[in-house]
Amino acid sequence: MTIIEENYNWARTNFVQQTPDTIVIHHAVCRSCTAQDIHRWHIEERGWAGIAYHYFIRKDGSIYRGRQETWQGGGLLGSENKDTLQICLEGCYTDYVVNGVVLTEKNVPQVQLDSLVELCKDIQKRWTIKEYKRHSDYSSTRVDNKDCPGKYFPWAEFILRVGGISMATINVSDAWKDKAIDFVIKFQKETGLVVDGKAGDATNSKLDEVLRKWKEPSKDNRQALELKEAWDNFVNKISAIK
């Protein structure tokens, strides 16, 4: 994995130091932009020190460093930023129209999602990550009804793929956890894995393989179709939970 280092002209550098334990996912609400664009917007339009995120991932999967991991981020409100690593994706993965122009994108590029998963797994090697959160999981987003990183971001798939974190530590409802564990158990049975209900390395590796190979299975591949149907049903059930 390659992290592209950018040279930023910071408005100030007196960042609060932190020990990250939470990863927060954002989207840029912009179909095409760069890390330097984000940096400039955050200074000129927000009056911030510079890019608020620790990483920025473009649609082609390239990963750019923003703030250093030990610097407190700024993409949340006040104390919400404490001990978080914030990752922003290029794109607009929700229903959004500006001045009559539709910016909505309903599909996160696979290469972008793959890079996000790889980055998160790499971060887990350095820090004890206890939670994954969406920007919209924070109370400060409710005033504007933000759904960042967007209603079309595949959150359930992302959580299963990052693995290595107990379902008990993920900030979701008990109903979400139960359905997720049920799916993992069924998936493990169908693919001949050890059935333990945990989305560990072996399960996530097999899931990656299935998603790549059988995303659009041929009609004569019964097992692939059944697995895809199980996956789609799971995602639909998870999405229906409030």
Q: Give pLDDT, residue 167.
A: 42
The 10s digit of each residue's pLDDT in 16-66 is 999 999 999 999 999 999 999 999 999 999 999 999 999 999 999 999 999
Higher pLDDT, 228 or 88: 88
Q: Classify residue 216 as exposed, middle or buried by CB count within 10 Å of its CB (0-12, 13-18, 19+).
A: exposed
CATH code given to domain 1-7+16-153:
3.40.80.10
Is the whole-model pTM more than 0.95? no
Above 70 in pLDDT, residue 235? no
Above 50 in pLDDT, residue 11? yes
- Cα dihedral 213/60/90/34 (nearest 10): 170
- Cα dihedral 58/64/66/71 (nearest 10): 120
Domain boundaries, the chain: 1-7+16-153, 171-242
Above 70 in pLDDT, residue 227? no
Above 60 in pLDDT, residue 187? yes
For residue 81, what are its two tokens? 């930023």
Flag the least confident range among 2-11, 169-178, 182-191, 219-228: 169-178
| Continuous segment of H or E residues that includes residue 65 | strand 63-65
Q: Give pLDDT, residue 201.
A: 72
Q: Give pLDDT, residue 205.
A: 76
Q: Classify residue 177 as exposed, middle or buried by CB count within 10 Å of its CB (0-12, 13-18, 19+).
A: middle
